[in-house]
Amino acid sequence: MEVLTKYLNLRTKGELDMIDITESVAKAISETSIRNGIVTIFVPGSTGALTTIEYEPGLLKDFPEMLERIAPKNINYEHEKTWHDHNGHSHVRASLIGPSLTIPFKDKRLTLGTWQQVVFIELDIHSRTREIVLQIIGE
Amino acid sequence: MEVLTKYLNLRTKGELDMIDITESVAKAISETSIRNGIVTIFVPGSTGALTTIEYEPGLLKDFPEMLERIAPKNINYEHEKTWHDHNGHSHVRASLIGPSLTIPFKDKRLTLGTWQQVVFIELDIHSRTREIVLQIIGE
Amino acid sequence: MEVLTKYLNLRTKGELDMIDITESVAKAISETSIRNGIVTIFVPGSTGALTTIEYEPGLLKDFPEMLERIAPKNINYEHEKTWHDHNGHSHVRASLIGPSLTIPFKDKRLTLGTWQQVVFIELDIHSRTREIVLQIIGE
């Protein structure tokens, strides 16, 4: 059994950019000698999130529209009163989706479905650089 | 330390079927020689999800009603324009709830509360067969 | 490789109390001899949840307001018909946010961002005692 830490460095294009990181995660696993285990993908930061989705242009609009229904951009947020950075909705959305995703792999392959991709979602209101942590555990 | 992969095969009854898989997960752990560890339960596919809930008939209606508020079935989804499969809302709901759930176990027992069950939620619009992955890690 | 189980005992102040458990989780890891690994934090029970958030007074109001939009307290819940305990909305909210959070640590430090704290969210309608499970795996 072994634990290995890898990092993915991303440059997001701005609010609601959804980046397909499936191949990068698969590559990180392939570069280790671990055959079977889990990878915990984690976002350090409180305005980004991770999930899986069928990565096609329609859903890249539909998912953000759902976020706009549950945490609209143009309502008042108490967060704004302290920080004046206009991203109260970003924080609320990120905390609901969550910063962590754990995926099994077997014989070096992630157990994803064919139409299921791993995505990082930029929820902050501008382009950012992000360093995602991959903690790979297995044997 | 060891890693073992098990599978649960389910036949769902249709949209919003919530299946209690607690006993199946517990049984999978009991069949291994691992006493203490974690199980990562994972749905391959982008229209199913996992969480825990008190499994009683009322909540099996209340939880879907919440999903209908945040991602209604009868609004327009961009996903539909590409795929014409009427399940844009299914994808959006699945990505929000998430495809992965990690639960500790100690002395071979899942650390669940008494009124807390592990459920697979079918979010696609028809009955499907599902193969859920259980990655069991521990010693 | 090793697996160690620790517990956090909390006393919540009532509905929507959000408790910053970051330091307690960090302390639990520091008390072990494990340097690199993951900690799975888990809530036994179906009316509590875990996530990360920037722990500042504004967001401690904004996040609950989002929950009130998606699962309002004062609508009818089927759960109520069976149990008469007035917490149908608590269950629905808890199942959406989720009971489990897995965070990597490296050189004994959680890989959190500077403005990102781990929170337990009390979703039940009154003050409760809670025992949170920390399953620490690594080497």
Mean pLDDT of C108-113: 98
pLDDT value for B64: 98
pTM of the model: 0.98
Q: Which two tokens stand for residue C43?
A: 């809530």
CB proximity B63 to C under 8 Å: yes
Pick from A78, A99, A135: which is nearest to C58 by CB? A78
Residue C26 predicted with pLDDT over 90: yes
CB distance B138–C81 less than 8 Å? no
pLDDT value for C126: 97
Using alpha carbons, select from B43, B36, B51 the residue that is nearest to residue B105: B36
pLDDT value for B83: 84
List, for residues C34-77, the tens digit of each pLDDT value.
999 999 999 999 999 999 999 999 999 999 999 999 999 999 99
Residue C83 predicted with pLDDT over 90: no
Beta strands in chain A (DSSP E): 2-11, 18-20, 37-42, 48-53, 100-106, 109-110, 117-122, 129-138
Q: Which two tokens stand for residue A118?
A: 């791993």
CB proximity C114 to B under 8 Å: no
CB proximity C92 to A under 8 Å: no
Give CA separation, B17 vs B10, B48, B50, B63, C127, in Å: 11, 10, 12, 11, 33
Instruction: Determine the residue type at A65.
Output: E
Mean pLDDT of A117-129: 98
Element at B49 (helix H, strand E): strand B48-53
Cβ burial, residue C32 (10 Å; 0-12/13-18/19+): middle
Per-10-residue mean pLDDT of chain B, 139 residues long, equals: 97 98 98 98 98 98 98 96 92 98 98 98 98 98
CB distance A135–C58 less than 8 Å? no
Using alpha carbons, select from B115, B137, B126, B132 the residue that is nearest to residue B25: B132
Using alpha carbons, select from C9, C53, C10, C46 the residue that is nearest to residue C124: C46
Please give the Cα distance from B70 to B92 (Å, whole number).
9
Q: What angle do CA A121, A122, A125 make, to 5 degrees?
A: 150
Q: Is B113 helix (H, G, I), strand (E, B) or coil?
A: coil
* Residue that has been written with the tokens 């639990």 in this structure: C28
Mean pLDDT of A68-93: 95
Please give the Cα distance from A136 to A33 (Å, whole number).
11
CB proximity B3 to C under 8 Å: no
Residues of B in contact with C98 (CB under 8 A): 51-52, 97-98, 101
pLDDT value for B17: 98
Q: What's the 3-state SS for C77-105?
A: CHHHHHHCCCCHHHHHHHHHHCCEEEEEE
Please give the Cα distance from A99 to B64 (Å, whole number).
24
pLDDT value for C118: 98
| Residue C114 confidence class, pLDDT cut points 50, 70, 90 | very high
Give CA separation, A34 vs A26, A133, B29, B40, B131, in Å: 12, 17, 22, 17, 24
Residues of C in contact with A81 (CB under 8 A): 58
Q: Are C139 and A3 in contact (CB under 8 A)?
A: yes
A with C: how many residue pairs have Cβ under 8 Å apart? 106
What integer best gives the mean pLDDT of chain A?
97
CB proximity B1 to A under 8 Å: yes
Please give the Cα distance from A106 to B3 (Å, whole number).
10
List, for residues A26-59, the tens digit of each pLDDT value.
999 999 999 999 999 999 999 999 999 999 999 9
CB proximity B52 to C under 8 Å: yes
CB proximity C56 to A under 8 Å: yes
CB distance A98–C98 less than 8 Å? yes
Please give the Cα distance from B34 to B36 (Å, whole number).
6
Please give the Cα distance from A11 to A17 (Å, whole number).
10
Residue B11 has φ and ψ, to the nearest 5°, of -120, 115
